C-alpha cells in the first residue's frame, strides 16, 4: 500500500509561509534560514515557490524524485520546484488550462537553472515517441545556444542571463509537446563594447577563441589571444570551472540539433568575428583647412579584415565612420565626425550588429521549434526575466527593468486575488474584499501616455533643439513634482531641498519594493539608441547572407525619414504584449533568492536576503494569502489526517467525508468563526487553528504510540514466557533421558568388567594346556629332523659322484658336435656368397632396365624432391645461424641478424618481433617496486612533454632524484622539516620571479602529497604553503628553459597573493610529480598542464602576460626575463646552436 505523506509531516521550520505564526519580517527570514541550513531550499507561499540558490549540487533532482512528485497533490509532499511544475502540467493536460510559470529574482539567484529544471521535468513526465523526443530535444537544446549569445560572467554570477526570455511551449490534447515560441526582452547590448571590472563579455566570444579549430579561426581571421581584442576584458577572461572550449562544441552541437545549417552557423560566427574586429578599429584626429576637426582610422588592417568577412567595400565603411549624412525633405547635408563621434558610431554599430544577430537567432530558433499543426494547442509559458535591481548607480537599464517588475507585481496581485476569488466562489464561500497596496499608481507614473516618464523621455528625444539629460530632468520636475511617488531636488515630496542624499542630476521613485535613486546621465542617448543612416546603408550593401535581414532600413530604395521608435517605446510595447499574454493564462510563480554575494554554499547573509524579500514583495504576498483563509484542504485527506482526534471517526468513518469532518470539528469545539465548509474543502482562517489541530494530532499519535507499545510489550512478554515454558519442558525431558543413559552406561560397564575377568581366567587355563602340548610336538619334530638330515646327506654324496661321470661324457660329445657344426657353417656361407652375387648381378640388370624405361618419370619427380630437400637444408641452416647470432637481452638493442634470403622477409620480421616481446617481458620481470615507480614517472614525463617541450630530451638520461637538498639530513633545514608534517617527495632550490623587474630570488621548493611549500633559502622560513586542491593548472613554454607558473583557483584562500612564476633546473621532474600526485588523488581534479609560449599569470589584482621569445646572439647563452610594461614579462631564450 502506498504511504502518502503531508507537507506538515517532519517539517523543518514551516514549509508554507502562510502558516507562519507569528508573521513578521524577522520570523520570515528566520524560517528561511532554518530551512536553508537543513538543505531545504524550497518554501511555499500558498502556490508560490521560494527558491534559494544553494551554490552546489543537491541530490534532489534525480529520476526517482521526478517519479516521486509525478501526479501528486501540490501539498502532498515537501516543497519542491517539481511540485509546481507537475501541478502546472497536470492542469494544462487534464483541465485544458493554459499555464505560465513566472521566474523572477536578481542575477545569481538561480532563475536560469530553475527554468531548466521546469523544462526538464515536463520533458521527463510527458509522452514518448520519436517525433515527441525530437521536439523535446530541440526545446531543451535551444537553451545552450541562447546562453552562449545572451549570458555573461558578472561579479554576481558566472552564467548571468543578460536578457529576458519568455518561452511558450505548445502541447497537444494528450499533453505531448508540439513545439514552442521564444520571445526575448532587452538584451544588454552595452556589454558588447564595455564591461565592468571583474566581468566578461558574452560567452560566445571566449568560446569561439578557445574552442574553434585553427582552420576555423584562420577563416575568420582571428587569433586565440584574448588580449588582441579591445572589446574583451582580460581580468576575467578565464573563469574557474568554465570550460569555454568544451562549451563551444556543445553550442555547435546544440545548433545542429535545433536545425541550423552549416552555412548558417558559419555566417553567425563571421558576424561574431566582425564584432571583435570592429572593436580594434581606432581613430586619430585630423584638422581640415576650414578649421573643422575630423577623424581618420589609424590602422586599416582590422577594417580590411572586417570588410572581407562581411563582403563590404572598405572605402564605403571607412567613409561611414568619417561622415554623417542628414536628410530633411529633399535636402542632404554631410558633416564630418570628430574622434569622439567616430568612436560613438563604431560602438553603436557593434551594439546594433550583435543585438540584431541575437534577435535573428531567436527568430531562427522559433522557425525550427514552432508547432507544425495548425489546430488549437495548449500552451505553457516559462518567463525567465531579470528581477528588481537597486544598485549604487542606477541608470536607464535599471529604470525599465524595474518598470517591468512593477507590471509583473501588478499582474501578480491581480491574478492571485482573482484565483482566490474564483476558488471562494467555486466552493460557495462568501468573498470579502482584501485591502492591499495597488501599485497601479506607480505604473501610471512611468507609462502614462500623456505625462508618464517614458512618454516625456520620448517627447524630449523627438523635440528639435538642444536636448540633454538635464532638460529631461527639468521636464520631470515640472510635470511630476507633485506626484507622491516621485522625488527630486525640486519636487514637493522632497523633504529638504538641500538633501545631500538626492544629487542634482538624479530623481527618486518610490517603487513597491522600495525607493530607487536614478541618475539621468545617459537616459536620452540610451533611449534614442541611434545608429547613423550611413552605417545602416553601408551594412545593407554587404554581400553577407544575413546583413540585408539585419539592416533592412539601409535599403536606399526604401528610405524612411521617419525617426525610428525609441528603446523605451519598444520595451513598453513588449511589456504590454507580455502582460496581455500572461492575463490569458493561469499563473505559477517561482521567486528566486540569492543567499550570499560570495557564490558560496552554506552561507546565509540575512541583510541580503531581507533586501531581496522586500523588493520581491514576499511579505505582501503572504499577507494577501492570509487575508481570507490561511489554509484549505479537501475533506478526504483532512478526515484521514485528523480522524484519530474523535472517538466517532476513529478508526473508520462509514459516512461521507464532509459529515466526518463536521463531527470531528464539533467534537474538538473549534469556534465556528475559525473555519468554513466549502463544497469539497474545509477552509481554516487562522494558522493557530491548524497548529492546534496538529498539536492535538501529535498528542494523540503519542498516545496511540504508547498504546501500541503497551500491546506490543505484553505480546512480547507472553511470547517470551511461553517460549521459556516450552524450553523448560524440553530441557527436563532431555535431562531425564540423559540420566537414564548414564545409569545404563554404568550397569553396562560393570557387566563388561565381570565378563572380561571370567573370559581372562578361562583363556589363561587353555593357554597353559596348549603350551604343554606344543612342547611335546616340537621334541618329536626335532628328533625326526636330525634323522632325515643324516639320510639326505648320504644320498647327496652318491648323486654328486654320478653327476661327475655324466659331465665328462657330455663335454667330449659337445666338442665333437661343435667341430661338425663349424665345418657345415663354412660350407653354407660359401654357398650363400655365390647365391648373393647372382642376386646382386640380377638386381643391377633389372634396375638398369627399369631406369631405362622410367627415366622420364624419374626426372620429373626428382626436381621437386631436390627443391624440398634444398629448402629444408636452407631453413635448418637459417635457424642454426640465427641461434648463434641472437642480439643481447637489452630491450633498447635494435640490432638483428641480416636475413640470408629475400623469401624469408615475413618470417624474419615476425621472429624479430616475438624475440623483442619476449626479452621485454624477461626484462620487466626483473623490476623492483622502486624501479617500477621510477620508470612510471619517466613514462608520464614522456606523455606530458615529448615533442612539446624542447627541454625534455636532455632530461631523459637524468634520474629523478627527488630530494636534491638531502633536507632530512641537513641540520640547516631542521626547523623547516619540523614545520612540514608529511613525507617530502621533492626538495629543490628554485627561483621565484619578481614581477617588478623580472629577476629571481632563490626559494626552497618542497612537494608533499597534499601541499606545495616555498621557503626562504637562508633562514628556512616558510613563505607560502599552497594545498594541492587549490592549484588550477601549471603552465610552461615549449622552449629550452626552466620557467613554469603555478596557477591558483579563483576564490581559494591561497589565491590572495596571486599565482607563482618560478624557474628550476629540474622543471620536468617537478611538473611530472605534480601531475602524478593530482592524478592519484581521489579527492581532487586532475591537474591541467598547459604548454604554450604565451600565458597569463595573476599577480594579486592584475594579470600579466608571460611571453617567450628567441634571444639574439648578443644576449649570450643565459635565459633572461625582463619587464616590458605593466601587463607583459618577456623571457628571452638563447638560440640553440
The catalytic residues are: 107-108, 112, 157, 160-161, 387, 389
Q: Where are the beta strands (DSSP E) in 399-505?
A: 486-487
CA distance to 110, 441, 480, 508, 510, per residue, from 484 (Å)? 35, 9, 9, 11, 8
- Nearest one of 154, 161, 231, 148 to 199, comparing CA atoms: 154
Q: Is the dihedral of CA 174, 177, 181, 185 positive or negative?
A: positive
Buried b / exposed e over 735-773, threshold 16 CB at 10 Å, is eeeeeeeeeeeeeeeeeeeeeeeeeeeeeeeeeeeeeee
CA distance linking residue 48 with residue 31, whole number of Å: 16
Place of cell 467525508: 657
Neighbours of 977 (CB within 10 A): 17
Name 51's bridge partners: 42, 592
- In this structure, are strands 283-287 and 1031-1036 parallel, antiparallel, or unpaired? unpaired
Query: At 486, is the secondary structure helix, strand, or coil?
Result: strand
CA distance linking residue 574 with residue 530, whole number of Å: 19
Q: Is the dihedral of CA 1119, 1123, 1129, 1130 positive or negative?
A: negative
Q: Are 399 and 452 contacting, i.e. CB atoms less than 8 angstroms apart?
A: no
CA distance linking residue 538 with residue 306, whole number of Å: 13
- What torsion, rounded to 10 degrees, do the Cα atoms 661, 666, 667, 673 define? 100
Name 591's bridge partners: 50, 104
Q: Are 1093 and 1086 contacting, i.e. CB atoms less than 8 angstroms apart?
A: no
The Cα angle at residue 21 between residues 17 and 23, in degrees rounded to 5 = 70
Q: Are 626 and 19 contacting, i.e. CB atoms less than 8 angstroms apart?
A: no
Q: Are 479 and 451 contacting, i.e. CB atoms less than 8 angstroms apart?
A: yes
Q: Is the dihedral of CA 92, 95, 100, 103 positive or negative?
A: negative
Q: Are 937 and 1072 contacting, i.e. CB atoms less than 8 angstroms apart?
A: yes
Q: Are 981 and 1027 contacting, i.e. CB atoms less than 8 angstroms apart?
A: no
As given in the structure block, the three cell numbers for residue 369 are 521549434
- What torsion, rounded to 10 degrees, do the Cα atoms 726, 730, 731, 734 define? 170
**CB-count burial class (<10 Å; 0-12, 13-18, 19+) for 601:** middle
Place of cell 511555499: 44
Q: Are 388 and 226 contacting, i.e. CB atoms less than 8 angstroms apart?
A: no
CA 486 remoteness from chain centre: 48
Helix (H) or strand (E) holding 769, with range, is helix 687-853
CA distance linking residue 1062 with residue 1067, whole number of Å: 9
Listed as own residue / partner, the contacts of 297-302 with beta carbons closer than 8 Å and 24 or more positions apart are 297/321, 302/277, 302/278
Name 586's bridge partners: 99
As given in the structure block, the three cell numbers for residue 213 are 579549430
CA distance linking residue 39 with residue 1136, whole number of Å: 61
As given in the structure block, the three cell numbers for residue 508 are 527618486
- Nearest one of 107, 85, 109, 89 to 98, comparing CA atoms: 89
CA 741 remoteness from chain centre: 77
CA distance linking residue 708 with residue 700, whole number of Å: 12
Amino acid at each position: 500500500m502506498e504511504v502518502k505523506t503531508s507537507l506538515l509531516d517532519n517539517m523543518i521550520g514551516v514549509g508554507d509561509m502562510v502558516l507562519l505564526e507569528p508573521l513578521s519580517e524577522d520570523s520570515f527570514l528566520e524560517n528561511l534560514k532554518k530551512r536553508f541550513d537543513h538543505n531545504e531550499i524550497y518554501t511555499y507561499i500558498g502556490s508560490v515557490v521560494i527558491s534559494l540558490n544553494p551554490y552546489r549540487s543537491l541530490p534532489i533532482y534525480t529520476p526517482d524524485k521526478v517519479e516521486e512528485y509525478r501526479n501528486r497533490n501540490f501539498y502532498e509532499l515537501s516543497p519542491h520546484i517539481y511540485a509546481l511544475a507537475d501541478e502546472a502540467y497536470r492542469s494544462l493536460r487534464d483541465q485544458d488550462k493554459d499555464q505560465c510559470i513566472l521566474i523572477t529574482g536578481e542575477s545569481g539567484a538561480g532563475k536560469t537553472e530553475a527554468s531548466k529544471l521546469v523544462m526538464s521535468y515536463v520533458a521527463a513526465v510527458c509522452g514518448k515517441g520519436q517525433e515527441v523526443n525530437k521536439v523535446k530535444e530541440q526545446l531543451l537544446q535551444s537553451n545552450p545556444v541562447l546562453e552562449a549569445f545572451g549570458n555573461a560572467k558578472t561579479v554576481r554570477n558566472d552564467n548571468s542571463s543578460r536578457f529576458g526570455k519568455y518561452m511558450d511551449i505548445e502541447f497537444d490534447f494528450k499533453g505531448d509537446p508540439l513545439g514552442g515560441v521564444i520571445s526575448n526582452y532587452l538584451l544588454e547590448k552595452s556589454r558588447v563594447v564595455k564591461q565592468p571590472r571583474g566581468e566578461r563579455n558574452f560567452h560566445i566570444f571566449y568560446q569561439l577563441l578557445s574552442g574553434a579549430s585553427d582552420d576555423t579561426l584562420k577563416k575568420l581571421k582571428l587569433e586565440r589571444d584574448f588580449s588582441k581584442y579591445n572589446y574583451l576584458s582580460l581580468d576575467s577572461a578565464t573563469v574557474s570551472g568554465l570550460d569555454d572550449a568544451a562549451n563551444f562544441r556543445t553550442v555547435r552541437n546544440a545548433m545542429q540539433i535545433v536545425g541550423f545549417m552549416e552555412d548558417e552557423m558559419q555566417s553567425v560566427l563571421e558576424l561574431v568575428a566582425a564584432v571583435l574586429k570592429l572593436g580594434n578599429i581606432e581613430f586619430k584626429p585630423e584638422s581640415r583647412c576650414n578649421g573643422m576637426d575630423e577623424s581618420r582610422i589609424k590602422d586599416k588592417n582590422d577594417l580590411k579584415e572586417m570588410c572581407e568577412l562581411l563582403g563590404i567595400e572598405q572605402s564605403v565603411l571607412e567613409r561611414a565612420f568619417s561622415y554623417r549624412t542628414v536628410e530633411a525633405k529633399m535636402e542632404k547635408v554631410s558633416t564630418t565626425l570628430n574622434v569622439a563621434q567616430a568612436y560613438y558610431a563604431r560602438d553603436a554599430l557593434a551594439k546594433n550588429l550583435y543585438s540584431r544577430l541575437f534577435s535573428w537567432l531567436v527568430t531562427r530558433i522559433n522557425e525550427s521549434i514552432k508547432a507544425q499543426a495548425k489546430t488549437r494547442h495548449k500552451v505553457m509559458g516559462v518567463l525567465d526575466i531579470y528581477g528588481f535591481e537597486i544598485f549604487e548607480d542606477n541608470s536607464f537599464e535599471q529604470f525599465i527593468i524595474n518598470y517591468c517588475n512593477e507590471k509583473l507585481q501588478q499582474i501578480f496581485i491581480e491574478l492571485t486575488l482573482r484565483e482566490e476569488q474564483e476558488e471562494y466562489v467555486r466552493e460557495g464561500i462568501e468573498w470579502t474584499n482584501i485591502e492591499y497596496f495597488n501599485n497601479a499608481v506607480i505604473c501610471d507614473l512611468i507609462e502614462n501616455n500623456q505625462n508618464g516618464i517614458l512618454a516625456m523621455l520620448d517627447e524630449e528625444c523627438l523635440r528639435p533643439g538642444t536636448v540633454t539629460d538635464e532638460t529631461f530632468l527639468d521636464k520631470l520636475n515640472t510635470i511630476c513634482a507633485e506626484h507622491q511617488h516621485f522625488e527630486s531636488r525640486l519636487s514637493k515630496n522632497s523633504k529638504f531641498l538641500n538633501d545631500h542624499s538626492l544629487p542634482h542630476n538624479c530623481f527618486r521613485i518610490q517603487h513597491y519594493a522600495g525607493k530607487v535613486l536614478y541618475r539621468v546621465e545617459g537616459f536620452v542617448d540610451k533611449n534614442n539608441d541611434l545608429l547613423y543612416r550611413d552605417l545602416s546603408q553601408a551594412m545593407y550593401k554587404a554581400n553577407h547572407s544575413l546583413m540585408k535581414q539585419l539592416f533592412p532600413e539601409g535599403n536606399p530604395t526604401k528610405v524612411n525619414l521617419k525617426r525610428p521608435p525609441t528603446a523605451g517605446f519598444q520595451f513598453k510595447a513588449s511589456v504590454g504584449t507580455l502582460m496581455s499574454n500572461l492575463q490569458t493564462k493561469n499563473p505559477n510563480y517561482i521567486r528566486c533568492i540569492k543567499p550570499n554575494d560570495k557564490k558560496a554554499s552554506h552561507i546565509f547573509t540575512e541583510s541580503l536576503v531581507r533586501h531581496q524579500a522586500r523588493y520581491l514583495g514576499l511579505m505582501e504576498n503572504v499577507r494577501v494569502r492570509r487575508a481570507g483563509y490561511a489554509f484549505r484542504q479537501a475533506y478526504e485527506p483532512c478526515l484521514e489526517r485528523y480522524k484519530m482526534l474523535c472517538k466517532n471517526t476513529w478508526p473508520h468513518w462509514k459516512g461521507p467525508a464532509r459529515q466526518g469532518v463536521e463531527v470531528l470539528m464539533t467534537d474538538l469545539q473549534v469556534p465556528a468563526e475559525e473555519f468554513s465548509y466549502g463544497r469539497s474543502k474545509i477552509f481554516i482562517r487562522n494558522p493557530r487553528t491548524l497548529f492546534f489541530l496538529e498539536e492535538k494530532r501529535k498528542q494523540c499519535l503519542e498516545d496511540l504510540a504508547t498504546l501500541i507499545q503497551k500491546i506490543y510489550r505484553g505480546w512480547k512478554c507472553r511470547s517470551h514466557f511461553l517460549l521459556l515454558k516450552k524450553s523448560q519442558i524440553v530441557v527436563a525431558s532431555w535431562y531425564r533421558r540423559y540420566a537414564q543413559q548414564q545409569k545404563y552406561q554404568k550397569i553396562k560397564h560393570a557387566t563388561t568388567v565381570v565378563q572380561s575377568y571370567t573370559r581372562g581366567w578361562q583363556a589363561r587355563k587353555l593357554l597353559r594346556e596348549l603350551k604343554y602340548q606344543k612342547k611335546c610336538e616340537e621334541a618329536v619334530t626335532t628328533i625326526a629332523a636330525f634323522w632325515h638330515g643324516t639320510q639326505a646327506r648320504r644320498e647327496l654324496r652318491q648323486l654328486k659322484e654320478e653327476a661327475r661321470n655324466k659331465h665328462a661324457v657330455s663335454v667330449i660329445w659337445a666338442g665333437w658336435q661343435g667341430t661338425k657344426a663349424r665345418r657345415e657353417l663354412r660350407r653354407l656361407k660359401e654357398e650363400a656368397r655365390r647365391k648373393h652375387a647372382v642376386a646382386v648381378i640380377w638386381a643391377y640388370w633389372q634396375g638398369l632396365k627399369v631406369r631405362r624405361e622410367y627415366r622420364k618419370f624419374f626426372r620429373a619427380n626428382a626436381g621437386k624432391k631436390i627443391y624440398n630437400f634444398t629448402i629444408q637444408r636452407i631453413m635448418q641452416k637459417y635457424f642454426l645461424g640465427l641461434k648463434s647470432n641472437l642480439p643481447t637481452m637489452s630491450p633498447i638493442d635494435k640490432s638483428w641478424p641480416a636475413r640470408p634470403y629475400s623469401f624469408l622477409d615475413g618470417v624474419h620480421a615476425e621472429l624479430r618481433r616475438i624475440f623483442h616481446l619476449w626479452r621485454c617481458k624477461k626484462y620487466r620481470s626483473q623490476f623492483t617496486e622502486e624501479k617500477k615507480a621510477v620508470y612510471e614517472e619517466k613514462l608520464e614525463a614522456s606523455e606530458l612533454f615529448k615533442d612539446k617541450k624542447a627541454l625534455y630530451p636532455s632530461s631523459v638520461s637524468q634520474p629523478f632524484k627527488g630530494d636534491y637538498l638531502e633536507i632530512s639530513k641537513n641540520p640547516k633545514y631542521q626547523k623547516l622539516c619540523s614545520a612540514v608534517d608529511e613525507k617530502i617527495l621533492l626538495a629543490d632550490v628554485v627561483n621565484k620571479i619578481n614581477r617588478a623587474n623580472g629577476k629571481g630570488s632563490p626559494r626552497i621548493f618542497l612537494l608533499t602529497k597534499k601541499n606545495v611549500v616555498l621557503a626562504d633559502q637562508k633562514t628556512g622560513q616558510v613563505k607560502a604553503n599552497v594545498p594541492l586542491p587549490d592549484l588550477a593548472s601549471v603552465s610552461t613554454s615549449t622552449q629550452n628553459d626552466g620557467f613554469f607558473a603555478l596557477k591558483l583557483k579563483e576564490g581559494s584562500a591561497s589565491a590572495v597573493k596571486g599565482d607563482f612564476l618560478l624557474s628550476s633546473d629540474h622543471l620536468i621532474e617537478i611538473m611530472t610529480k605534480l601531475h602524478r600526485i593530482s592524478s592519484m588523488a581521489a579527492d581532487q581534479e586532475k591537474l591541467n598542464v598547459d604548454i604554450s609560449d604565451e600565458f597569463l599569470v595573476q599577480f594579486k589584482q592584475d594579470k600579466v602576460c608571460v611571453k617567450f621569445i628567441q634571444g639574439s646572439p648578443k644576449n649570450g647563452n643565459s635565459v633572461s626575463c625582463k619587464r616590458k610594461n605593466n601587463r607583459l614579462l618577456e623571457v628571452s631564450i638563447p638560440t640553440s646552436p
